[in-house]
Amino acid sequence: MSTTTDQTSPAQASTERRPRKNRPQAVLEVLGKTRVSPRLLRLTLGGEGYASLNRNEQTDAYVKLLIADPHSGLQPPYDLDALREQSPELLPTRRTYTVRRWDDEAQRIEIDVVLHGDQGEGVAARWADEAQPGDRIAMNGAGGGYTPSPEARRHLLIGDHAALPAIAAALESMDPSARGLALVHLDHEEDRLDLVHPGGVELRWVIGAREQLLDEVGALDLSETAGLDVFCHVERGITKQLRRLLVKEAGIPREQISISAYWALGRIEDQFQAEKREPIGAIDAED
């Protein structure tokens, strides 16, 4: 379901001319994996490479996995400059995943990978499904930019399967007295999880068509925006429409909202990331 073009935009051309800066690679070992729902696989990764990660306290902290073709013979860490120069076709695929949980004492992280179970299964999902204890994986990170504000009067979290780890981590980090609503879209009822959350924060699952999120948000009373802390990260097309509801119509100050797309329908991550520099990928283009 991807699209390609032979044309190169000015933004893409500029990016191609700009030297790439290689970020430090942390190499972790697969310690175990657990199927936490029919379509969600949790991997535990750890080892000495943990110390090379940019550990941070953001609840949406993320790493970028570097996944080499298993037939390439490459082993992490990778000399990316040499590969770009000599064998660009062997460059590892880069995929972004939220850190579901940090364990500093045991020097390990957990990441959750959505498994679609069809011929459209992605590179990372295939790698995760086939990974065995002892396998090694290189990654960059961790990045991140959101943690629920402890001063907020109310929280509104909006996400889907891809954002579920970040929402789960955010809910766990909140004070027990926190209040608000978490709206989580899933395609399938059986993928619900038993998430820990404050008693005053309602966890509402939205099952089926993702457009239902628009109806749910449109029905909310958002007339009082003072003290409202918003996290909104879903598919790109839906995110743009939610932004209109939250920013344009409800008038929530932009500094109170963490909003961006985690993915785009019909795009693999390489295309999705490249399009962030194009008008099609802009969420806040009208601000």
- What pLDDT digit, counting tens, does each position of 232-267 carry? 999 999 999 999 999 999 999 999 999 999 988 888
The pLDDT, as a whole number, for residue 21 is 66
For 10-143, CATH gives 2.40.30.10
CA 259 to CA 166: how far, in whole Å? 13
DSSP string, the chain: -----S---HHHHHHHHSPP-PPPPEEEEEEEEEEEETTEEEEEEESGGGGGS-----TT-EEEEEE--TTS---SS--HHHHHHH-GGGPPEEEEEEEEEEETTTTEEEEEEE---STT--HHHHHHHH--TT-EEEEEEEE------TT-SEEEEEE-GGGHHHHHHHHHHS-TT-EEEEEEEES-GGG-------TEEEEEEEES-TTHHHHHHHTS--S--TTEEEEEE-BHHHHHHHHIIIIIIS---GGGEEE--SB-TT--HHHHHHHTTSGGG-SSTT-
- Which has the higher per-residue pLDDT, 276 or 93? 93
For 154-281, CATH gives 3.40.50.80
Task: Report the DSSP pairing between strands 40-46 and 26-37.
Answer: antiparallel
Q: If you search the block for the tokens 């943690």, which residue do you land on?
A: 147
CA 127 to CA 186: how far, in whole Å? 23
Condensed to tens digits (0 to 9), the pLDDT of residues 133-152 reads 999 999 999 999 999 999 99
Residue 116 pLDDT > 90: no
Residue 287 pLDDT > 70: no
Q: Which of 191, 190, 204 is closest to 157 using CA atoms?
A: 204
Q: Please, how many CA atoms are within 13 Å of residue 271, restricted to the half-sphere of its CB? A: 13
CA 4 to CA 1: how far, in whole Å? 10
- Tell me what the mean pLDDT of segment 128-134 comes to: 96
Per-residue confidence band for 271, with pLDDT thresholds at 50, 70 and 90: confident
> 206 has which bridge partners?
185
CA 177 to CA 234: how far, in whole Å? 27
Q: Which of 232, 233, 286, 243 is closest to 264 using CA atoms?
A: 233
Minimum mean pLDDT among 18-27, 67-76, 179-188, 211-220: which range? 18-27
Residues of the chain with CATH 3.40.50.80: 154-281
Q: Please tell me whether the peptide bond between 274 and the residue prior to it is cis, using omega within 30 degrees of 0.
A: no
**Dihedral Cα 251, 218, 243, 267, nearest 10 deg:** 180
Cα separation values, 219 from 180, 261, 263, Å = 15, 22, 25
Residues of the chain with CATH 2.40.30.10: 10-143
Q: Please tell me whether the peptide bond between 77 and the residue prior to it is cis, using omega within 30 degrees of 0.
A: yes
Residue 1 pLDDT > 50: no
Residue 33, token pair as written in the block: 């994996």
- Tell me what the mean pLDDT of segment 58-75 comes to: 96
pTM of the model: 0.88
